[in-house]
């Protein structure tokens, strides 16, 4: 099982939306919170994304940063998706 994830970051808050890749698990989940409370697994992915310049360009913020990526059932990065806008 894997999920498509949209990460958006405002000045002080993050928003995370996960979309299941298979139709057998159609539940979409949302999570938000202060930047200081982002989960460790997410911080690892964000660091790799920043180093590889995978964040999408935001023309008219907010959000300040946007990133689409895919994770597996262990919240490990599978791939970045830079085709989304």
- CA torsion 71-73-75-77 (nearest 10°) is -30
Q: Which helix (H) or strand (E) holds 11?
A: none
Residue 5 has pLDDT above 70, yes or no: yes
pLDDT tens, residue by residue, 12-65: 999 999 998 876 766 889 999 999 999 999 999 999 999 999 999 898 889 999
Rounded alpha-carbon distances, angstroms, from residue 55 to 13, 50, 76: 17, 7, 18
Domain spans of the chain, in order of start: 2-80
Q: Is the pTM of this model over 0.85?
A: yes
Place of tokens 């964040």: 55
């Amino acid at each position: 099982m894997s999920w498509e994830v949209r990460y958006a970051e405002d000045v002080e808050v993050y928003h995370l939306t996960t979309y299941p890749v298979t139709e057998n698990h159609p539940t979409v989940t949302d999570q938000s919170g202060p930047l200081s409370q982002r989960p460790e697994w997410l911080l690892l992915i964000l660091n790799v994304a920043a180093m590889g310049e995978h964040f999408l360009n935001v023309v008219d913020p907010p959000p300040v940063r946007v990133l689409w990526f895919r994770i597996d059932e262990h919240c490990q990065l599978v791939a970045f998706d830079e085709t989304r806008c």
